[in-house]
Amino acid sequence: MASPVPITIRDLTVRYGATVAVDGVSLVIEPGELFLLLGPSGCGKTTLLRALAGFVEADAGSIRFGDEDVTRVPPHQRHAGMVFQSFALWPHLSVFENVAFGLREQRVPKGEISARVEAALASTRLPGYGGRRVDELSGGEQQRVALARALVVRPRCLLLDEPLSNLDAKLRHSMREEIRRLCKEHGLTTVYVTHDQKEALAVADRIGVMTTGRLLQVGSPAEIYRRPRSRAVAAFVGETNLLAGRVAAVEGAEVRVESPVGALVAARDEAFAPAVGAEVWISIRPECLRLVRAGEVAPNTLRGRVEQVTYLGELAEHRVRVGDTALALFELNARAERRDELVASVDPADVVLLPRDEPGGAA
């Protein structure tokens, strides 16, 4: 396998006529990193991936694989492995011939082709599958063949375009673990496109959230989920309660905000430190709202009227009205008890303040 290389993107812009699909994106993906591009349909993530592969021409900016500028290099000379959403396998060819295709294009000696194909199939847990027809395989097995075909050419980076979207939910869960294992075992610099937030959180070393052709935030899964930097990121990644607020006071490590559900205390965050009087968004994840027992003293307590409860086994989703404001609360290990009212609390560290005027707009 080729040594992993960093991918450096500088001010990359791609246009389709008057439409700007990728808008001045700059990003460095580290050698061996598994990087997820996450965003809704039409946000530009697949166009960015195809620009990395060479299938889409950049209108401005540059792409480097290691020290090499590949911005104008044709796809077959970039030495990148690509796995498409549709798998793009040839149904009339055997598994062996599908995996060997790239090696034949590179004019690799016949004996070496056999050894490398068998090794790639073993790596993707398909030993002995070489003689089978692709149309005899399950969806998960076809996905593994597509991965083996990408790995066998010993790419310096791996590009994955919605690789699990054609699989059922149970298979997606197992295959995302398999993809992470393969990328880490081979030490590949990997760029993986998805619109599935849980998939991104489960697989990634880092995530870049995109909308309207721009990168809104880049960070670890925990940073993206727990410390979003904009309303758009908070709303797109997972579920959250978003409230309009106003900073009433800043006292040491605490920020006091006025909100439609009453006064709240948030932990001060140096990354965003609004002044007194600033208009902000308040983001509170439903699982961060904790039910309070009678007599318990807790911060940021809210008393609400229960409007709906959906029991999901491992948790219950409560839809609660606090004054005129509807909130979602997730109760873990719930017994599906019927309540008319409840009291909840949220830790100041889980009250996340976001700028009211932000790039990327609302989600």
Reported as a single tens digit per residue, the pLDDT across 240-280 is 999 999 999 999 999 999 999 999 999 999 889 999 999 99
Which residues are 327's β-sheet partners?
A: 320
Answer yes or no: pTM beyond 0.85. Answer: yes
Which range, of 72-76, 107-111, 294-298, 321-325, averages the lowest pLDDT? Answer: 294-298
Q: How far apart are CA 336 and CA 29, in angstroms?
A: 45
Ordered alpha helix ranges (H), the chain: 45-53, 95-105, 110-123, 139-152, 169-186, 197-203, 221-226, 231-236
Half-sphere exposure of 323 (CA within 13 A, CB side): 8
User: Regarding beta strands 241-251 and 214-219, do their DSSP bridges make them parallel or antiparallel, or are they unpaired?
Assistant: unpaired
Q: How far apart are CA 37 and CA 195, in angstroms?
A: 8
Query: Is-same-fold flag (7-231; 239-355)?
Result: no
| Residue 171 banded pLDDT, cuts 50, 70, 90 | confident
| Interval 343-349 mean pLDDT | 96
pLDDT of residue 360: 45
List, for residues 90-148, the tens digit of each pLDDT value: 888 899 999 998 898 888 998 899 999 999 999 899 999 999 999 889 888 998 899 99
pLDDT of residue 336: 58
| Residue 363 banded pLDDT, cuts 50, 70, 90 | very low
| Interval 222-231 mean pLDDT | 96
Mean pLDDT over the full length of the chain: 91
| Residue 312 banded pLDDT, cuts 50, 70, 90 | confident
Positive or negative CA dihedral for 231, 235, 238, 243?
Answer: positive
Class level of CATH domain 239-355: mainly beta
Asked if pLDDT for residue 219 goes beyond 60, the answer is yes
Q: How far is CA 176 from CA 31, 77, 341, in A?
A: 20, 28, 40
Class level of CATH domain 7-231: alpha beta
Q: How far apart are CA 282 and CA 354, in angstroms?
A: 6
Q: Where are the domains of the chain?
A: 7-231, 239-355
